[in-house]
Chain A
Amino acid sequence: MASLANRRLARRVVTVVALGVAVFAAPTVTAHGGSLGASARESVTVPTWLFLLTGGAVVGASFLLASFVTDRRLIDDLHGWRATVPFPGRDSLASIARVGGVLGVVGVVSIGYVGPGNGLSNLAILVVWVGWWAGYAMSAYLLGETWSTVNPWRTIAELLPSLDRSLPPMGAWPAVVGLLTLIWIEVVSPLADDPALLSTVVVGYTIVTLAGAVVFGPDRWFDRVDPIAAVFSYYGHVAPVVTASTGIARSDGTQRDDSEEREDANRLTVRPPGVGLTRADIVTDSSDVAFVVALLWSTTYDGLVATPAWESLITPLVEFGVPAHLLYPVALAAGFVGFLGVYRLAARSARSTGETYLAADELARRFAPPLIAIAAGYHLAHYLGYFLSLAPVLATVLTSPLSPPAIVPVFSLPGWFGAIPVASVLAGHLLAIWIAHAAAFDLFPGRLQAIRSQYPFTLVMVAYTMTSLWIVTQPTIQPPFL
Chain B
Amino acid sequence: MTETQPLDSTTYDVPDDAEPERCPECGRPFVREELVTLHRGQAHGGRLDADEIEAFEDAYEKESERLRLFRLKALIALVILYFGLLMTYALV
Interface residues of A (CB under 8 A from B): 46-47, 50, 53-54, 57, 60-61, 64-65, 67-68, 70, 72, 254, 256, 280, 351, 355-362, 442-449, 451
Q: Give Cα A61–Cα B45 distance, bound, in whole angstroms.
A: 35
- Min Cβ gap B3→A in Å is 10
Q: Is the CB of B67 within 8 A of A359?
A: no
Q: A-contacting residues of B (Cβ < 8 Å)? A: 1-2, 4-6, 10-14, 18, 20, 29-32, 34-36, 38-39, 41-43, 63, 66-67, 70-71, 74, 77-78, 81-82, 85, 88-89, 92
Q: Does the CB pair B13–A360 fall under 8 Å?
A: yes
Nearest neighbor of B60 in chain A, beta-carbon distance: A447
Select from chain A the residue with minimum beta-carbon distance to B20. A357
Report B-chain residues with C-beta under 8 Å of the C-beta of A449. Answer: 35
Q: Shortest distance in angstroms between B45's beta carbon and chain A's nearest beta carbon?
A: 12
Q: Across the interface, do B70 and A50 meet the contact criterion of CB distance under 8 Å?
A: no
Query: Is the Cβ of B1 less than 8 Å from the Cβ of A54?
Result: no
Q: Are B29 and A361 in contact (CB under 8 A)?
A: no
Shortest C-beta distance, A16 to chain B (Å), equals: 39
Q: With A47-B92, A256-B4, A359-B10 given, is the CB distance from A445 to B35 under 8 Å?
A: yes
On whether A50 and B92 interact (CB within 8 A), knowing A357-B14, A445-B35, A445-B38, the answer reads: yes
The reply to whether B31 and A357 form a contact with Cβ atoms under 8 Å apart is yes
Establish whether residues B18 and A357, one from each chain, have CB atoms under 8 Å apart when the complex forms. yes
Given A60-B81, A64-B77, A446-B35: A254 touches B4 (CB 8 Å cut-off): yes
Q: List 7 A-B residue pairs with CB atoms under 8 Å apart, sorted by A's residue number.
A: A64-B74, A68-B71, A254-B6, A351-B13, A357-B14, A362-B12, A446-B63
Instruction: Give the distance to chain B from A368, nearest Cβ to Cβ, in Å.
Output: 15
- Chain B nearest CB from A213 CB (Å) reads 30
Q: Are A357 and B38 in contact (CB under 8 A)?
A: no
Nearest B residue to A60 via CB reads B81
Asked whether A447 and B67 contact (CB < 8 A) given A357-B29, A357-B30, A442-B2, the answer is yes
Known contacts being A50-B88, A445-B35, A446-B34, is A362 close to B63, with CB within 8 Å?
no
A362-B10, A442-B2, A447-B63 known; 16 new pairs, CB 8 Å cut-off, are A46-B92, A57-B85, A68-B74, A72-B42, A256-B4, A280-B5, A356-B30, A357-B20, A359-B13, A361-B13, A362-B12, A362-B13, A445-B35, A445-B39, A446-B35, A451-B70
B38 adjacent to A446 (CB under 8 Å): yes
Residue of A whose beta carbon sits closest to that of B23: A445
The one of A53, A65, A448 that contacts B67, using a Cβ cutoff of 8 Å? A448
| Interface of A, helix, strand, loop or mixed by DSSP | helix
The answer to whether A448 touches B13, judged by C-beta atoms less than 8 angstroms apart, is no
In the complex, residue of chain B having the shortest beta-carbon distance to the beta carbon of A352: B31
**Contact present for B13 and A358 (CB under 8 Å):** yes
A68-B74, A357-B30, A360-B13 given as contacts; is B66 within 8 A of A448 (CB)?
yes
- The reply to whether A57 and B81 contact each other, CB–CB distance below 8 Å, is yes
Which residues of chain B come closer than 8 Å to A447, judged between CB atoms? 63, 67
> In angstroms, how far is the closest chain B Cβ from the Cβ of A175?
21
* Bound: A355/B66 CA distance, A: 16
Instruction: Please report the C-alpha to C-alpha distance between residue A446 and residue B33 in the assembled complex, in whole angstroms.
Output: 11
Let me know if B70 and A355 touch, CB within 8 A. Answer: no
A64–B67 touching, CB < 8 Å: no
Nearest CB on A from B7, distance (A): 11
Q: Residues of B contacting A53 with CB < 8 Å?
A: 85, 88
Bound complex: CA A54 to CA B74 (Å): 18
Among B5, B29, B41, B43, find the residue whose CB has the most chain A CB atoms closer than 10 A.
Answer: B5
Nearest opposing residue in chain A for B5, CB measure: A254
Closest residue on chain B to residue A354 by CB atoms: B31
Least Cβ–Cβ distance between A169 and chain B, in angstroms: 15
What CA separation (Å) do A65 and B78 show in the bound complex? 8
Point out the residues of chain B lying under 8 angstroms from A280, CB to CB. Answer: 2, 5
Q: How far is the CA of A451 from the CA of B71 in the complex (A)?
A: 11
Measured CA separation A360–B34 after assembly (Å): 22
Residues of A with C-beta under 8 A to B36: 445
The closest CB in chain A to the CB of B11 belongs to A362
Q: How far is the CA of A67 from the CA of B14 in the complex (A)?
A: 28
- A445 contacts B10, CB within 8 Å? no
Partner of A359, one of B12, B31, B77: B12
Please state if A448 and B63 are interface contacts (CB–CB under 8 Å).
yes
- Expressed in whole angstroms, the Cα–Cα distance for A46 and B11 within the complex equals 47
In the complex, chain B residues whose CB is within 8 Å of the CB of A65: 78
Query: In the complex the two chains form, what is the Cα distance from A449 to B12 in whole Å?
Result: 16
A355-B92 contact in complex given A61-B81, A65-B78, A443-B2, C-beta closer than 8 Å: no
In the complex, the chain B residue whose C-beta lies closest to that of A67 is: B74
Whether A61 contacts B1 in the complex (CB less than 8 A), given A50-B88, A448-B67, comes out as: no
Question: Which chain A residue shows the least CB distance to B84?
Answer: A57
Instruction: Tell me the smallest distance from the CB of B73 to a CB of chain A, in Å.
Output: 9
